[in-house]
Structure 1
Amino acid sequence: MLVFSYKKRIEEIWDGWLTVVCYTVVIVLADVANLASTALTIAIQRDWIVVITGYNRGHLAGMNATMRRIDQVTNILAPLAVGQVMTLASNVVGCGFILGWNLVSLIVEFFFLSRVYRIVPALSVKPPALEQQSYLEKKRERICAQGRTSASTTGAPSEESTSTLRLEEIRRIPVCLHRLRGLLSTCREGWRAYYRQPVFLAGLGLAFLYTTVLGFDCITTGYAYTQGVSGSLLSILMGVSAVAGLLGTVLFTKLRKTCGLVNTGVISSGLHLVCLLLCVCSVFAPGSPMDLSHQRHGYLLRGGNNQPLLPDRSSIHWTNNTVLFENAPAGTEPESYISIILLFLGVITARVGLWSFDLTVTQLLQETISESERGVVNGVQSSMNYLMDLLHFFMVISAPQPQHFGILVIISVLFIFTGHTMYFLYARKAKRKPRTNT
């Protein structure tokens, strides 16, 4: 709000460098908020739900599906609400609306979470493994204290005195290096715990699905504008995509009851891949701008007809990782809309299998991971998801032109196919072991 309100004054200070500082602060605050949101999601959707449902797989599936439906409904309403506010008012009013909504939501969220914490006493019980770890740490400290005492009285070297000397050497290390060493050790142990899980391949397969441009993010949205798709139509397509995600949660609950959890993932994977074949067909369909001989210089500023490829920043709205432009750039209509229709038809229909598969892997992680490692393993899983999501931005950097978007589509499908193949390997291994259903 401050940057939008005092934009002209900020640009005049420090030869415009204050603008860079302001945006840096905004980005850092957004990263911290995203980190906190990820931690909250792990705590609620990966740990609390398991405890609240009493480890009952049927109730757990219903709770996971309900939580995901809430997310999908939010994805329908949030972009529409924020987009309308910014269109009818201004960016400053839109930021104020988001600010006020988050402050009210924070109070409501804190009230409900604290009430659930009081209603379910099991949430406040420390896992046995963590209690044992705390006991071992206290015991280690007690042994070290005894070692110091014995060394001072007898003067003879012992194992305890040796460990005491090592502790003293560690204490001489600067605090910053000691903390860095502890952080690296924690990360290493987290990755080891993640790799040891029997559901490791399923989780890694889910992470591979994040390396894709086949979603309603800023990349696909920007490409859609170069193909003559209007902002209002994109908003409608986003809503339809969220509805498809809701159908995916319904499909998950139905398949889990009739086919079992592991088979639900197999069916969802197949459905997801079949729908994405439409996206592959769009690369070679009439109207596709696919042209590998196209030069990459100047693509951001000028199109083939010397017209701006992207509109001015003043006509851009950001809503939940999606860029909405007020007007499509002029002169960018394709010769045929068959390609873009096939692309979004594949993206939207694939959401059904995608969200069903996501819920399957989520519940597998909840069921198979012990309570003492649930937070660590899910934290590593989230890290893998973000890492693979970051990789798809590097893909776009290497092939940024609309004429090369078809390459990104094919690469995305290959990553998704690899992820589902990992799940198929896990499912094959899991079916060999008898599973008990409750």
Structure 2
Amino acid sequence: MSSEVTTGDEVHSDRTSVSEPLSDSHQHGMTGSQAWNLYASHFLSTWNIRTYEFTAIIFTAAAYPDTLIASSIRGIVRTLASICFASIVGRWVDHAPHRLKTLWSTISVNRISVISASVLWFFLVSSESATQGSLQSTSSITQDIMFGLILFLEVLETLSASGNMLSMERDFVVTAADPDGQPYDLTHLNSVMRRIDLICKLIAPILISIMVSATSVRIGVFVVGALSTASWGVELICAKRVWDLNPRLRVLKTIGIGDSNTVSQSLPPSSSCHKISRALRRYRQDFENYFSSEVWIPSMSLSFLHISVLTYSATFITFLLNAGFSLDLITIARAAGSVVEISSTVVTPIGVHYLSKTKGHGRIRGVVARVNEDSEDPGVRLLERFPGQQPATETGLERLGLWGISWQLLNLVPVVFALWSLSPDTTTTTSSAIVSRILGPIATQPLLAFTLFFFLSISRLGLWIFDLTTQQLTQTMNPTSQRSSFTGVEYSFVSLFGLAQHIVAIVLHRPEQFKWIALMSLGATAISTVAYAGWVWKMRGHLVHWDRIGKGCKCVKVRLRQVR
């Protein structure tokens, strides 16, 4: 279906015409049937993405058992692909007029890449050279060719997975959601979708590990490919049902042509230089739009947290194993952390509802609540669908997000102290000697392990509350035409900071140096907290209701006097 293109003054008239059927559709809100089909489609996508994400690590280790080179190359290629192309995928999602076709495309590309990669993995792990672990055998050239094709397919899988998340979370869900306060409003849908993602992240690796351990890696490859094939059609049908039953999803998006298409007019339109110049200009424009957005600071704060190793990541687990913790204990702690993460999807809607009761705080609240729906300001489009309801919800999101990231920071402090006590001290510095004196007595007791894992696990509650609130803020405080491209740039920064984490771990690779990495991770979390708090202060004009605290103190004093 051809895309609609508007320029100049036509954008306003087209936006008005597009929003007309939306008001009619309010009486036909999202039903339980639509929601369950939406959840089913997202579950199948997430399950397949999480399953392949984990099993590919097992397949790489089975094909190249005596070296970490293949695993490192694979991780670098996937990370670089996300850094370079995530924003381009986001722009494509924003500019594609047909929502269902866009979602179908991401699903189909992801399934084709996984199925094709599974075929190659099947032959790669079955080869005699892979079984023997000899990279210098006569078939090593064939292995390298197959592995190179797998890397190409994994780039497609990574980008299509990002496109699927962008299309679903930044377009499909936002458009289909009911007004605030309804059973299927945006806060509720976001929480359930994230709950599905976290459950898949927890269960998929466990089940696939049990299956591979009970059978073989070849059977695991076959099962991954078979699951992707079997779920492909079901996922498409579920998405189609949601699209059929929701009038808002069927409205085509309009595309405004800006300066991004008017580049290098002196060059022939068909020349390679013109195409490269246009691509680079669009890429730069995505980053300019990101930093000009009102909500880029929360997004950057969330992205910057990915530089921290204070999470149940491969780097942290490797350190724990070297420090003498058993794999069983680590697995139990990681499972507990996952349960806490899932609980954040229950806490967030309740917290947003409670903290949204405060109205009219901050400069943005007062302005947005009074603007006309037909204003030309792009920021006003946030209220196009449900005017007058968003400001209170945004207040709750901002306040709960601050509580979340502050909770994470406070609970990571004892984690860092425990790690300083745990890490071998080969250098005699004053600070490390003081920490050793304070924490030395508990180093040989179960209290150390409890402190480390308990506070690390409950810190995950704050992280995912902050993640959920920031996600909804970026969904609602960005223009419709920039939601996915904004998140694509965010994904690029997430991958960049994740890469920086691995580089730091390579530089400070000795076990006794891990405490410095932990301290830097705590500093990164503190920087994110301060940056987000400053943004909330800018939005609301304050962080704490000192007047309410004063009233509370007066009430306490009065009651104490009465008791006396």
The residue that corresponds to 1:146 in the other structure is: none
Equivalent residues of 1:292, 1:404 under 8 A apart: no
Q: Which amino acid aligns with 1:266?
A: L
- 2:415 is the alignment partner of 1:279: yes
Indicate which of 491, 507, 510 corresponds to 1:398.
507
Q: What is the CA-CA distance between 1:37 and the residue it aligns to?
A: 0.5
- 2:323 is the alignment partner of 1:188: no
Indicate which of 47, 53, 58 corresponds to 2:171.
47
The residue that corresponds to 2:489 in the other structure is: 380
Cα-Cα RMSD: 2.7
Inter-CA distance 93–15: structure 2 relative to 1 (3 Å threshold)? closer
Equivalent residues of 2:309, 2:316 under 8 A apart: yes
Inter-CA distance 198–81: structure 2 relative to 1 (3 Å threshold)? same
How far, CA to CA, are the matches of 1:66 and 1:375 in structure 2? 20
Inter-CA distance 103–340: structure 2 relative to 1 (3 Å threshold)? farther
- 2:318 is the alignment partner of 1:222: yes
Q: What is the CA-CA distance between 1:271 and the residue it aligns to?
A: 0.8
Indicate which of 90, 107, 117 corresponds to 2:233.
107
The residue that corresponds to 2:338 in the other structure is: 242
What do the CA deviations read for 1:388-420 (whole angstroms, capped 9, x no partner)?
111111111111122211111111111111112
- 2:520 is the alignment partner of 1:423: no
Q: What is the CA-CA distance between 1:18 and the residue it aligns to?
A: 4.1
What do the CA deviations read for 1:40-88 (whole angstroms, capped 9, x no partner)?
1011112211111145376111111111111121122112101111221
The residue that corresponds to 2:125 in the other structure is: 4
Equivalent residues of 2:269, 2:275 under 8 A apart: no
- 2:32 is the alignment partner of 1:32: no
How far, CA to CA, are the matches of 1:173 and 1:53 in structure 2? 42
Q: What is the CA-CA distance between 1:281 and the residue it aligns to?
A: 1.1
Q: What is the CA-CA distance between 1:336 and the residue it aligns to?
A: 5.7
The residue that corresponds to 1:71 in the other structure is: 197
The residue that corresponds to 2:517 in the other structure is: 408
Q: What is the CA-CA distance between 1:36 and the residue it aligns to?
A: 0.8
The residue that corresponds to 1:171 in the other structure is: 268
Range 105-114 or range 269-278, more displaced: 105-114
What do the CA deviations read for 1:198-246 (whole angstroms, capped 9, x no partner)?
1111111111111111222221121222123333333333321211001
Indicate which of 371, 374, 380 corresponds to 2:480.
371
Stretches of structure 1 lacking an aligned partner (at least 5 in a row):
141-162, 294-333, 434-438
Indicate which of 260, 263, 288 corresponds to 2:423.
288
Q: What is the CA-CA distance between 1:6 and the residue it aligns to?
A: 0.6
How far, CA to CA, are the matches of 2:415 and 2:472 in structure 1? 29
State TM-score, norm by structure 2.
0.60
How far, CA to CA, are the matches of 1:109 and 1:289 in structure 2? 51
Equivalent residues of 1:288, 1:339 under 8 A apart: no
Q: Which amino acid aligns with 2:224?
A: I
Q: Which amino acid aligns with 2:460?
A: R
How far, CA to CA, are the matches of 1:121 and 1:7 in structure 2? 56
3-state SS of paired residue (2:509): coil
Inter-CA distance 172–56: structure 2 relative to 1 (3 Å threshold)? closer
Q: Which amino acid aligns with 1:106?
A: W
Alignment of 1:156-167 (within 5 A): 167=265
Indicate which of 391, 398, 401 corresponds to 1:262.
398
Equivalent residues of 1:279, 1:343 under 8 A apart: yes
Equivalent residues of 1:281, 1:342 under 8 A apart: no
3-state SS of paired residue (1:170): coil
Equivalent residues of 1:211, 1:412 under 8 A apart: yes
How far, CA to CA, are the matches of 1:172 and 1:183 in structure 2? 13
Range 109-118 or range 78-87, more displaced: 109-118
How far, CA to CA, are the matches of 1:290 and 1:121 in structure 2? 64
How far, CA to CA, are the matches of 2:329 and 2:141 in structure 1? 37
Q: Which amino acid aligns with 1:355?
A: W
The residue that corresponds to 1:86 in the other structure is: 212
Q: What is the CA-CA distance between 1:22 and the residue it aligns to?
A: 3.4
How far, CA to CA, are the matches of 2:286 and 2:269 in structure 1? 27
How far, CA to CA, are the matches of 1:60 and 1:292 in structure 2? 52
Q: Which amino acid aligns with 1:253?
A: P
Stretches of structure 2 lacking an aligned partner (at least 5 in a row):
1-121, 356-395, 429-442, 543-564
How far, CA to CA, are the matches of 2:337 and 2:141 in structure 1? 40
How far, CA to CA, are the matches of 2:427 and 2:488 in structure 1? 40
